[in-house]
Structure 1
């Protein structure tokens, strides 16, 4: 099955990224994931990540941009999760970052272990910080 996004699809969102495949590692943050052709890429607190897609599943399914009928993307539903199988056989999950997900899975893995009070505050921090400066 060939996956191809003819136009770039970018989510102005932050996800918790985890690999489910032994022997692979991934930065725990996926900032502004972008789908284009058969690739998903995102920024993170390091050098960024790019993966070739074999299969992709959006949760909820209604957030799948391939099911969209119009060209207006301003009201596109943001996926709560994106599950990816790469061409190399790696299984990845991107889970939309909430305060709870951050505290349980990310906080102890980022420099400074910043404390946040809300979902919006944690997302805004990672969307607005330019990690390329560090």
Structure 2
């Protein structure tokens, strides 16, 4: 895939997954759990979200490397590329209007839960000064 970023370009745990199982696996994990916490068990079983997303063999390889001999852990999964802001805001608005929870709206839009929460609470970005020519002045 020509548009696939190098493994070091994936944030957080997605970078580790990309290094272990490849960029396609990291993107599948981001689609499945991006913007939400996800549990990585010591031994993923068929039907576990990770096995469903990347296949059982890759899921086991990921967990072997990330969990090792531990008992599993929960970690927030970063979102992948999410597209234009207008599309993201529209997707969040539609999901919330349908009665979805904030985490589900974030998942549908491919953004972090904090982004969906800010949208729900009416945040639309930093406010510009009334006079757009006034960029602020700092006297030092």
Larger CA Rg, structure 1 vs 2: 2
More strand by share: 1
TM-score range, shorter chain: under 0.3
Higher relative contact order (CA 8 A, sep 6+): 1
The normalised TM-score by structure 2 is 0.26
The normalised TM-score by structure 1 is 0.27
More helix by share: 2
